[in-house]
Amino acid sequence: MTIFALSSAAGRAGVAVIRVSGPAAASALRALAGIADPRPRHAELTRLSDPSSGEALDDGLALWFPAPHSFTGEDVAEFHIHGGRATVGAVLEALSALDGLRPAEPGEFTRRAFENGKLDLTQSEGLADLINAETEGQRRQALRQLEGELGALYDTWSVRLVRAQAHLEAGIDFADEDVPEGAEKEANHHILWVQEQITHHLDDGRAGERAREGLYIAIIGAPNVGKSSLLNRLARRDAAIVAESAGTTRDVIEVHLDVAGYPVILADTAGLRAADGEVETEGVRRAMNRASSADYKIAVFDARLWPQRDAETEAFVDQATLIVANKWDLAGRAESAYEPALPVSAKTGEGLDNLLAALEEVVLGALGGSASAPRLTRARHRAALEECRAALERAASAEAIELRAEDVRLAIRSLGRITGRVDVEDVLDVIFSEFCIGK
Ligand code: GDP
């Protein structure tokens, strides 16, 4: 079946791109644009008309990408038309009236590209991430994954394991004869090597996943210490309500920031303190949850009371915490008096630059890294790698050579599921549903 969809964003635009993929793409090009013998990969200015009425729909560009040299690997036609709602609607309508064409499902173009071997699964995910990227760090990471770096890394491991398996199977086949010298040793060598690579790769502080999803930073502190004011300062807009009376921030408010090119989710939590009233109790419970599950914390104390600190907040301070003394403007002490805290004033903005610089350092430390090797970016990758490693551990310790060969086979399968080289029907729907229609 041939599919079609608007591939550019919906709404008014200068240009809209409609993509058609499948065996009937050529006849669609002929029917709408009157182009019978299209030149591959050339943009042709043409009049588009409704094949049934002959009515002119728009003037635009038609492009032809014959299989297999197209995004999906199938015959693909593209129409670049004026991006008005009625124009786009009319061209889509004309396409749906043609034989053998139907509207595409979300992610269906990319799914076809995967099924035709144009992209592996990690690349398909990279494409979804690239479309969703909002910061430079996300864009760079997604592009590397789309270019196939992650898949290529897993393929090199897979090749080593296939060799190990071959050596082990040779051992089984020759059991009654001379076992080839060194074959088992060779197999063990490959197994251990891949095990080490996986362990190293997994031990990345979840940098790739966090760079994709955002580093979660919770602002914690006693009621009225200035958490909401600080969040607003950092977000440069009024995301949280700042109130005079204590205990007004009753839920968790999150803003998304771009810090040093990486996404950060900054959460303002309800004040950590013994609560009165049911709503506030719930708020405090949520605040505690967020604080303990956050990747990082900003603990806010009152500069006027420093170095005195409330025990509720202090209990959350650990290695992954920036300590801030707020309301510096009311305290009137020198910066050095607050070591190791950063004195700031959410009201006047004093000290904010220092806090932002410290935040950048935190984010780059957690997400930046040297990133010379590609990073895994999803829990799906992590789970499969852990499965693979467990199978290799079993393989390394099993006595019988048959069992070891079987475990290595399972390990290869786990790696193959990440790239989609082995049957992965069950995960496809999940992965491609992340896309919207037209991708
Ligand atoms: P939260 O309960 O911790 O979120 O505190 P808010 O952000 O709601 O602030 C409580 C009160 O302190 C408000 O009246 C703020 O205007 C005030 N406030 C916050 N930060 C500062 C600051 O740095 N200096 C001064 N003078 N007042 C502040």
CATH number for 193:
1.20.120.430
Does 175 fall in a domain? Answer: yes
Tell me the pLDDT band of 235, cut-offs 50, 70 and 90. confident
> Residue 272: pLDDT above 70?
no
Give per-residue pLDDT as tens, 119-163: 999 999 999 999 999 899 999 999 999 999 999 999 999 999 988
User: What is the DSSP pairing of strand 321-326 with strand 342-343?
Assistant: parallel
pLDDT over threshold 60, residue 81: yes
Pair of tokens at residue 336: 């050095």
Q: Are residues 231 and 100 in the same domain?
A: no
Q: Are residue 63 and residue 20 in the same domain, yes or no? A: yes
With bands split at pLDDT 50, 70 and 90, how would you rate the model's confidence at 82? very high
Please report the pLDDT score of residue 242 as a whole number.
52
Please give the average per-residue pLDDT across 267-283, as a whole number: 65
> Considering 346, 368, 390, which residue would you say is the last residue of a domain?
368
Residue 132: inside a domain:
no
User: How does DSSP assign 405-417, residue by residue?
Assistant: HHHHHHHHHHHHH
Residues 363 and 236 grouped into a single domain: yes
Asked if residue 302 lies in contact with residue 225, where contact means CB atoms within 8 angstroms, the answer is yes
For residues 200 and 219, state if they share a domain.
Answer: no
Averaged pLDDT, 229-245? 69
On whether both 300 and 422 belong to a single domain, the answer is: no
Please state the domain count of the chain. Answer: 3
Q: Which of 42-46, 81-85, 170-174, 187-191 has the lowest mean pLDDT?
A: 170-174
| 129 in any annotated domain | no
| 116, pLDDT greater than 60 | yes
CATH number at residue 357: 3.40.50.300
Q: How far is CA 65 from the centre of its chain?
A: 29
Whether residue 20 is found in the same domain as residue 103: yes
Pairing of strands 215-221, 76-83: unpaired
Residue 319 CB burial class (10 angstroms; 0-12, 13-18, ≥19): exposed
Cα–Cα distances (Å) from 223 to 234, 246, 349, in that order, read 19, 5, 20
Taking the C-alpha atoms of residue 78 and residue 168, their distance in angstroms, rounded to an integer, is 51
Q: Which amino acid is at 124?
A: S
Mean pLDDT of the chain: 88
Residue 350: pLDDT band with limits 50, 70, 90: very high
pLDDT over 80 (residue 200) = yes
Cα separations (Å) of 343 from 223, 259, 269, 304, 308?
18, 20, 20, 10, 14
Q: Does 347 lie in the same domain as 241?
A: yes
Helix intervals (H) in 52-175: 85-96, 108-115, 121-132, 136-146, 149-173
**pLDDT level of residue 273 (50, 70, 90 thresholds):** low
If pLDDT is split at 50, 70 and 90, which confidence band does 38 have? very high
Among the candidates 368, 397, 424, a domain finishes at 368
Structure confidence at residue 369 as a pLDDT band (50, 70, 90): low
Residue 386 within any structural domain of the chain: yes
* 141 domain-assigned: no
Q: What's the CA-to-centroid distance between 236 and ligand 1, angstroms?
A: 15
**Is there a single domain that holds both residue 97 and residue 218?**
no
CA distance 257 to 23: 45
Residues 340 and 386 in one domain: no
439 Cβ contact partners less than 8 Å away, ≥ 6 residues apart: 7, 106, 107, 109, 110, 127, 128, 131
Exposure of 404 by Cβ count < 10 A (0-12 exposed, 13-18 middle, 19+ buried)? buried
- Are 10 and 55 members of one domain? yes
* CATH code assigned at 34: 3.30.1360.120
Lining residues, ligand 1, CB within 6 Å: 221, 223-229, 242-244, 249, 271, 326-327, 329-330, 345-347
Ligand 1 center–CA 226 separation, angstroms: 4
Q: Is residue 120 part of a domain?
A: no
Assess if residue 123 is contained within a domain.
Answer: no
**Domain of 17?**
2-113
- Ligand 1 centroid, distance to 63 Cα (angstroms): 59
Q: Which of 341, 368, 395 is the last residue of a domain?
A: 368
